[in-house]
Protein backbone atom coordinates (compact mmCIF):
# COMPACT_ATOMS: atom_id res chain seq x y z
CA UNK A 1 0.00 0.00 0.00
CA UNK A 2 1.27 3.48 -0.85
CA UNK A 3 2.56 5.51 2.09
CA UNK A 4 2.74 9.29 2.43
CA UNK A 5 4.69 11.54 4.75
CA UNK A 6 2.81 12.78 7.80
CA UNK A 7 3.31 16.54 7.84
CA UNK A 8 6.97 17.48 8.08
CA UNK A 9 7.85 14.46 10.20
CA UNK A 10 9.92 11.42 9.26
CA UNK A 11 6.84 9.23 9.72
CA UNK A 12 4.95 7.85 6.73
CA UNK A 13 1.45 6.40 6.87
CA UNK A 14 -0.63 4.36 4.41
CA UNK A 15 -3.04 6.23 2.14
CA UNK A 16 -5.91 4.50 3.89
CA UNK A 17 -6.49 4.80 7.63
CA UNK A 18 -8.66 2.38 9.59
CA UNK A 19 -11.53 4.14 11.32
CA UNK A 20 -12.71 2.42 14.49
CA UNK A 21 -15.76 4.23 15.83
CA UNK A 22 -18.22 1.36 15.21
CA UNK A 23 -16.41 -0.95 17.64
CA UNK A 24 -18.28 -1.17 20.90
CA UNK A 25 -21.66 -0.31 19.41
CA UNK A 26 -22.39 -1.51 15.88
CA UNK A 27 -19.53 -3.99 16.17
CA UNK A 28 -18.62 -6.32 19.01
CA UNK A 29 -15.14 -6.67 20.46
CA UNK A 30 -14.59 -9.86 18.44
CA UNK A 31 -15.65 -8.11 15.24
CA UNK A 32 -13.33 -5.22 15.99
CA UNK A 33 -10.46 -7.67 16.50
CA UNK A 34 -11.28 -9.33 13.18
CA UNK A 35 -11.17 -5.97 11.42
CA UNK A 36 -7.79 -5.17 12.97
CA UNK A 37 -6.45 -8.57 11.89
CA UNK A 38 -7.64 -8.04 8.31
CA UNK A 39 -6.32 -4.49 8.19
CA UNK A 40 -2.86 -5.50 9.33
CA UNK A 41 -2.81 -8.40 6.85
CA UNK A 42 -3.31 -5.84 4.07
CA UNK A 43 -0.69 -3.37 5.30
CA UNK A 44 -3.22 -0.96 6.77
CA UNK A 45 -1.14 0.10 9.77
CA UNK A 46 -2.61 3.56 10.48
CA UNK A 47 -5.62 3.50 12.84
CA UNK A 48 -7.75 6.35 14.15
CA UNK A 49 -9.88 6.38 17.30
CA UNK A 50 -11.10 8.90 19.89
CA UNK A 51 -11.96 9.13 23.56
CA UNK A 52 -15.66 9.66 22.73
CA UNK A 53 -16.02 6.46 20.64
CA UNK A 54 -18.01 4.24 20.13
CA UNK A 55 -20.39 6.27 17.99
CA UNK A 56 -23.01 7.55 18.24
CA UNK A 57 -21.63 8.86 21.52
CA UNK A 58 -23.22 7.75 24.77
CA UNK A 59 -22.15 7.43 28.38
CA UNK A 60 -22.44 3.63 28.18
CA UNK A 61 -19.97 3.32 25.29
CA UNK A 62 -17.61 6.21 26.09
CA UNK A 63 -14.03 4.98 25.69
CA UNK A 64 -15.10 1.48 24.67
CA UNK A 65 -13.40 1.59 21.27
CA UNK A 66 -10.03 2.41 22.83
CA UNK A 67 -10.52 -0.51 25.24
CA UNK A 68 -11.16 -2.89 22.33
CA UNK A 69 -7.92 -1.76 20.72
CA UNK A 70 -6.13 -2.44 24.01
CA UNK A 71 -7.37 -6.02 24.16
CA UNK A 72 -6.19 -6.56 20.57
CA UNK A 73 -2.73 -5.27 21.50
CA UNK A 74 -2.71 -7.51 24.58
CA UNK A 75 -3.62 -10.54 22.47
CA UNK A 76 -0.84 -10.23 19.91
CA UNK A 77 1.72 -7.68 21.10
CA UNK A 78 1.67 -5.74 17.81
CA UNK A 79 1.50 -2.20 19.22
CA UNK A 80 4.83 -1.27 17.61
CA UNK A 81 3.46 -2.13 14.15
CA UNK A 82 0.64 0.41 14.33
CA UNK A 83 0.59 4.19 13.88
CA UNK A 84 -2.14 4.96 16.39
CA UNK A 85 -4.17 8.17 16.42
CA UNK A 86 -6.68 9.30 19.02
CA UNK A 87 -8.56 12.48 19.84
CA UNK A 88 -9.60 14.62 22.79
CA UNK A 89 -12.83 16.63 22.72
CA UNK A 90 -13.01 20.38 23.17
CA UNK A 91 -15.84 22.55 24.45
CA UNK A 92 -19.00 20.52 23.94
CA UNK A 93 -21.51 23.38 24.38
CA UNK A 94 -23.17 21.66 27.30
CA UNK A 95 -23.04 18.21 25.76
CA UNK A 96 -21.18 15.13 27.01
CA UNK A 97 -22.04 15.56 30.71
CA UNK A 98 -20.32 12.22 31.35
CA UNK A 99 -16.91 13.49 30.12
CA UNK A 100 -14.88 15.04 32.94
CA UNK A 101 -17.99 16.16 34.78
CA UNK A 102 -19.41 17.95 31.76
CA UNK A 103 -16.54 20.41 31.75
CA UNK A 104 -14.54 19.16 28.79
CA UNK A 105 -12.35 21.91 27.33
CA UNK A 106 -9.12 22.16 25.37
CA UNK A 107 -7.25 23.47 28.40
CA UNK A 108 -4.34 22.02 30.33
CA UNK A 109 -6.30 20.20 33.02
CA UNK A 110 -8.68 18.56 30.57
CA UNK A 111 -6.09 17.53 28.01
CA UNK A 112 -3.78 16.04 30.64
CA UNK A 113 -6.65 14.09 32.17
CA UNK A 114 -7.86 12.94 28.76
CA UNK A 115 -4.51 11.71 27.51
CA UNK A 116 -3.83 9.74 30.69
CA UNK A 117 -7.25 8.10 30.44
CA UNK A 118 -6.75 7.25 26.76
CA UNK A 119 -3.29 5.80 27.40
CA UNK A 120 -4.78 3.57 30.09
CA UNK A 121 -7.70 2.44 27.93
CA UNK A 122 -5.38 1.78 24.98
CA UNK A 123 -2.84 -0.08 27.11
CA UNK A 124 0.09 1.87 25.70
CA UNK A 125 2.52 4.47 26.96
CA UNK A 126 2.38 6.68 23.88
CA UNK A 127 -0.02 7.81 21.15
CA UNK A 128 1.49 8.45 17.73
CA UNK A 129 -0.94 11.21 16.69
CA UNK A 130 -3.04 13.07 19.25
CA UNK A 131 -5.72 15.35 17.84
CA UNK A 132 -8.14 17.95 19.13
CA UNK A 133 -11.49 16.54 18.01
CA UNK A 134 -13.04 19.94 17.37
CA UNK A 135 -12.23 23.59 18.15
CA UNK A 136 -12.85 24.85 21.64
CA UNK A 137 -14.30 28.04 20.21
CA UNK A 138 -17.50 28.76 18.30
CA UNK A 139 -16.77 27.76 14.69
CA UNK A 140 -18.22 25.99 11.65
CA UNK A 141 -18.25 22.23 12.20
CA UNK A 142 -20.29 19.06 11.72
CA UNK A 143 -22.36 20.62 8.96
CA UNK A 144 -23.34 23.65 11.03
CA UNK A 145 -22.19 26.92 9.51
CA UNK A 146 -21.99 30.05 11.59
CA UNK A 147 -22.35 33.26 9.56
CA UNK A 148 -20.93 35.52 12.24
CA UNK A 149 -18.84 33.51 14.71
CA UNK A 150 -17.91 35.45 17.79
CA UNK A 151 -15.32 34.61 20.38
CA UNK A 152 -16.65 33.25 23.63
CA UNK A 153 -15.20 35.10 26.58
CA UNK A 154 -13.97 31.87 28.14
CA UNK A 155 -12.72 30.05 25.04
CA UNK A 156 -9.35 28.38 25.40
CA UNK A 157 -6.72 30.09 23.27
CA UNK A 158 -5.12 27.98 20.54
CA UNK A 159 -1.72 28.89 21.96
CA UNK A 160 -2.64 27.37 25.32
CA UNK A 161 -3.93 24.18 23.73
CA UNK A 162 -0.83 23.78 21.58
CA UNK A 163 1.38 24.47 24.60
CA UNK A 164 -0.14 21.51 26.45
CA UNK A 165 0.32 19.27 23.41
CA UNK A 166 3.94 20.44 23.19
CA UNK A 167 4.55 19.43 26.81
CA UNK A 168 3.09 15.98 26.11
CA UNK A 169 5.37 15.56 23.09
CA UNK A 170 8.39 16.46 25.22
CA UNK A 171 7.26 13.93 27.82
CA UNK A 172 6.97 11.22 25.14
CA UNK A 173 3.29 10.56 25.81
CA UNK A 174 2.34 11.67 22.32
CA UNK A 175 4.57 11.79 19.24
CA UNK A 176 2.74 14.18 16.93
CA UNK A 177 -0.16 16.65 17.08
CA UNK A 178 -3.14 17.07 14.79
CA UNK A 179 -6.38 19.02 14.63
CA UNK A 180 -9.85 18.04 13.46
CA UNK A 181 -13.02 19.76 12.24
CA UNK A 182 -10.98 22.94 12.00
CA UNK A 183 -11.23 26.00 9.77
CA UNK A 184 -8.56 27.67 7.63
CA UNK A 185 -8.25 30.46 10.20
CA UNK A 186 -7.80 28.04 13.07
CA UNK A 187 -5.30 25.92 11.18
CA UNK A 188 -3.12 28.92 10.39
CA UNK A 189 -3.28 30.04 14.01
CA UNK A 190 -1.82 26.68 15.06
CA UNK A 191 0.92 26.99 12.44
CA UNK A 192 1.81 30.52 13.48
CA UNK A 193 1.74 29.68 17.19
CA UNK A 194 4.26 26.90 16.62
CA UNK A 195 6.55 29.23 14.66
CA UNK A 196 6.34 32.17 17.04
CA UNK A 197 6.47 30.24 20.31
CA UNK A 198 8.76 27.38 19.34
CA UNK A 199 6.06 24.78 19.95
CA UNK A 200 5.45 21.45 18.25
CA UNK A 201 3.96 21.82 14.79
CA UNK A 202 0.63 20.31 13.78
CA UNK A 203 1.08 17.59 11.16
CA UNK A 204 -2.48 16.87 10.05
CA UNK A 205 -6.07 18.02 9.92
CA UNK A 206 -8.91 15.50 10.10
CA UNK A 207 -11.90 17.02 8.32
CA UNK A 208 -14.82 15.69 6.26
CA UNK A 209 -14.06 15.28 2.58
CA UNK A 210 -16.03 13.37 -0.02
CA UNK A 211 -17.75 13.71 -3.36
CA UNK A 212 -20.71 15.18 -1.47
CA UNK A 213 -18.63 17.63 0.57
CA UNK A 214 -15.62 19.18 -1.16
CA UNK A 215 -15.67 22.33 0.98
CA UNK A 216 -12.10 21.55 2.12
CA UNK A 217 -10.97 22.73 -1.30
CA UNK A 218 -12.06 26.29 -0.48
CA UNK A 219 -9.25 27.70 1.64
CA UNK A 220 -8.09 24.69 3.63
CA UNK A 221 -6.56 22.88 0.64
CA UNK A 222 -4.08 25.69 0.08
CA UNK A 223 -3.15 25.71 3.75
CA UNK A 224 -2.68 21.93 3.73
CA UNK A 225 -0.39 22.04 0.70
CA UNK A 226 1.68 25.11 1.55
CA UNK A 227 2.04 24.33 5.26
CA UNK A 228 2.33 20.52 5.02
CA UNK A 229 -0.69 19.94 7.23
CA UNK A 230 -2.05 16.92 5.40
CA UNK A 231 -5.72 16.07 5.27
CA UNK A 232 -6.94 12.93 6.99
CA UNK A 233 -10.21 12.73 5.10
CA UNK A 234 -13.04 11.36 7.19
CA UNK A 235 -16.37 10.13 5.83
CA UNK A 236 -15.06 9.59 2.27
CA UNK A 237 -18.28 7.65 1.66
CA UNK A 238 -20.35 10.40 3.29
CA UNK A 239 -21.26 7.98 6.10
CA UNK A 240 -22.29 5.34 3.58
CA UNK A 241 -24.47 7.71 1.53
CA UNK A 242 -22.34 7.37 -1.61
CA UNK A 243 -23.04 3.63 -1.77
CA UNK A 244 -26.66 4.48 -2.57
CA UNK A 245 -28.09 2.57 0.36
CA UNK A 246 -30.08 5.56 1.63
CA UNK A 247 -31.62 6.60 -1.69
CA UNK A 248 -35.28 7.56 -1.60
CA UNK A 249 -35.37 7.49 2.17
CA UNK A 250 -34.29 3.86 2.52
CA UNK A 251 -33.17 2.91 6.01
CA UNK A 252 -31.38 -0.47 6.08
CA UNK A 253 -31.63 -2.22 9.42
CA UNK A 254 -28.51 -1.76 11.51
CA UNK A 255 -27.16 1.05 9.34
CA UNK A 256 -25.67 4.06 11.06
CA UNK A 257 -28.64 6.34 10.33
CA UNK A 258 -30.94 3.68 11.76
CA UNK A 259 -29.17 3.62 15.13
CA UNK A 260 -28.21 7.30 15.44
CA UNK A 261 -31.05 9.53 16.56
CA UNK A 262 -29.26 12.65 15.33
CA UNK A 263 -30.14 13.87 11.84
CA UNK A 264 -27.42 12.93 9.37
CA UNK A 265 -25.57 15.82 7.74
CA UNK A 266 -25.77 13.78 4.52
CA UNK A 267 -29.58 13.58 4.57
CA UNK A 268 -30.30 16.65 2.47
CA UNK A 269 -32.62 17.45 -0.47
CA UNK A 270 -29.74 17.67 -2.96
CA UNK A 271 -27.99 14.49 -1.86
CA UNK A 272 -29.99 11.91 -3.82
CA UNK A 273 -29.55 13.54 -7.27
CA UNK A 274 -25.81 13.81 -6.72
CA UNK A 275 -25.52 10.23 -5.46
CA UNK A 276 -27.43 8.93 -8.48
CA UNK A 277 -25.08 10.79 -10.81
CA UNK A 278 -22.01 9.38 -9.08
CA UNK A 279 -23.45 5.85 -9.10
CA UNK A 280 -24.06 6.21 -12.83
CA UNK A 281 -20.41 7.14 -13.41
CA UNK A 282 -19.27 4.09 -11.46
CA UNK A 283 -21.64 1.81 -13.38
CA UNK A 284 -20.60 3.07 -16.80
CA UNK A 285 -16.90 2.70 -16.01
CA UNK A 286 -17.22 -0.68 -14.30
CA UNK A 287 -16.17 0.62 -10.90
CA UNK A 288 -17.33 -0.24 -7.41
CA UNK A 289 -18.98 3.01 -6.23
CA UNK A 290 -17.47 2.82 -2.76
CA UNK A 291 -13.97 2.25 -4.13
CA UNK A 292 -14.42 5.08 -6.64
CA UNK A 293 -15.47 7.51 -3.91
CA UNK A 294 -12.57 6.58 -1.63
CA UNK A 295 -10.05 6.61 -4.49
CA UNK A 296 -11.18 10.14 -5.37
CA UNK A 297 -10.20 11.40 -1.92
CA UNK A 298 -6.85 9.60 -2.05
CA UNK A 299 -6.05 11.14 -5.43
CA UNK A 300 -6.20 14.70 -4.11
CA UNK A 301 -2.76 16.31 -3.64
CA UNK A 302 -3.61 17.64 -0.19
CA UNK A 303 -4.71 14.26 1.21
CA UNK A 304 -2.35 12.26 3.38
CA UNK A 305 -4.76 9.44 4.20
CA UNK A 306 -8.46 8.64 3.82
CA UNK A 307 -10.21 7.22 6.88
CA UNK A 308 -12.48 4.28 6.16
CA UNK A 309 -14.95 2.60 8.50
CA UNK A 310 -16.80 -0.66 8.14
CA UNK A 311 -19.25 -2.84 10.02
CA UNK A 312 -18.40 -6.02 8.10
CA UNK A 313 -15.21 -7.64 6.84
CA UNK A 314 -16.55 -7.54 3.28
CA UNK A 315 -17.08 -3.79 3.51
CA UNK A 316 -13.56 -3.44 4.85
CA UNK A 317 -12.07 -5.51 2.01
CA UNK A 318 -13.83 -3.35 -0.56
CA UNK A 319 -12.64 -0.15 1.09
CA UNK A 320 -9.04 -1.35 1.34
CA UNK A 321 -9.15 -2.19 -2.37
CA UNK A 322 -9.58 1.51 -3.14
CA UNK A 323 -5.89 1.99 -2.38
CA UNK A 324 -5.05 0.18 -5.63
CA UNK A 325 -7.58 2.02 -7.78
CA UNK A 326 -6.32 4.82 -10.02
CA UNK A 327 -9.17 6.82 -11.52
CA UNK A 328 -8.79 7.75 -15.17
CA UNK A 329 -8.78 11.34 -16.38
CA UNK A 330 -12.19 10.71 -17.92
CA UNK A 331 -13.65 9.54 -14.62
CA UNK A 332 -12.14 12.48 -12.74
CA UNK A 333 -13.57 14.88 -15.31
CA UNK A 334 -17.02 13.36 -14.95
CA UNK A 335 -16.84 13.55 -11.16
CA UNK A 336 -15.89 17.22 -11.43
CA UNK A 337 -18.79 17.84 -13.80
CA UNK A 338 -21.30 16.42 -11.31
CA UNK A 339 -19.76 18.54 -8.58
CA UNK A 340 -20.00 21.67 -10.76
CA UNK A 341 -23.67 20.98 -11.43
CA UNK A 342 -24.51 20.18 -7.79
CA UNK A 343 -21.73 21.55 -5.58
CA UNK A 344 -21.38 20.39 -1.98
CA UNK A 345 -24.91 19.09 -1.38
CA UNK A 346 -23.91 17.90 2.08
CA UNK A 347 -21.81 20.16 4.27
Q: Which residues are catalytic?
A: 53
* Distance, C-alpha 7 to centroid of its chain: 16
If you ran DSSP here, which 8-state letter would residue 23 be given?
B
Nearest Cα to Cα of residue 6 among 172, 178, 137, 260? 178
d(CA 337, CA 347): 18
Q: Are 290 and 242 in contact (CB under 8 A)?
A: yes
Helix, strand and coil content of the chain, in percent to the nearest 5, comes to 40, 15, 40
Is 30 exposed, middle or buried (CB count within 10 Å of its CB: 0-12, 13-18, 19+)?
A: exposed
d(CA 32, CA 67): 11
The strand pair at 83-88 and 127-132 is best described as parallel
Helix, strand or coil, per DSSP, at residue 177? strand
If you ran DSSP here, which 8-state letter would residue 27 be given?
B
Element (H, E) at 321: helix 313-321
Strands (DSSP E) found in 254-297: none
Q: Are 290 and 15 in contact (CB under 8 A)?
A: no
d(CA 58, CA 25): 10
Q: Are 160 and 136 in contact (CB under 8 A)?
A: no
Amino acid sequence: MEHRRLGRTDLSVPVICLGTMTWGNQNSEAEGHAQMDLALDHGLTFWDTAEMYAAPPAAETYGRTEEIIRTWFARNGRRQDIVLASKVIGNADGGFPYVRGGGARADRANILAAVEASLKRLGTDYIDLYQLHWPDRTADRFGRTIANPVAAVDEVAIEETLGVFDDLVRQGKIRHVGISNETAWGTMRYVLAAEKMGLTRIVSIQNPYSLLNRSFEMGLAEVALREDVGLLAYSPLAAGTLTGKYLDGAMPAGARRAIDGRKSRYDTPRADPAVRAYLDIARRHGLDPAQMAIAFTIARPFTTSSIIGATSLEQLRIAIGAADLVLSDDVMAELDAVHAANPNPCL
